[in-house]
Amino acid sequence: MRRLDACEVAFLCTATGRCVRVRLPELRGHRIVGFTDGLLILLNKGTTAVRVLHPFTRVAVDLPPIAPILDYMVKDQLSRAWVKGTHVS
């Protein structure tokens, strides 16, 4: 487990069984929320912006915040549930 804002991640090399620690200042202020194809999926703790980071090249792609999308989805679901409820009576 990574200490809060430690900015360091350990990777396991499956070929050798060795553990490699990589210092990543890019992690500051972010939470790791997933991994895919060797990339880290990060969530900015303050803005909910999503970042995809390659831990060895340090190339990052910033995506829009997810809070507005989630807010829209919740409102849409509530709206649909309300409409369904009014048609049932």
For residue 28, give Cα distances in angstroms to 37, 66, 70: 22, 19, 24
Six token digits for residue 72: 């829209």
Asked if pLDDT for residue 89 goes beyond 50, the answer is: no
Q: Tell me the per-residue pLDDT of 14-63, one tens digit each, with 9 for 90 and over.
A: 899 999 899 999 999 999 999 999 899 998 888 888 999 999 999 999 98
Q: What is the pLDDT at residue 63?
A: 87
Question: Would the pTM count as exceeding 0.85?
Answer: no
Q: What is the pLDDT at residue 61?
A: 95
Six token digits for residue 1: 């487990």
Q: How many CB atoms are located within 10 Å of the residue 25 CB? A: 8
| DSSP state, residue 10 | E
Domain ranges of the chain: 29-88
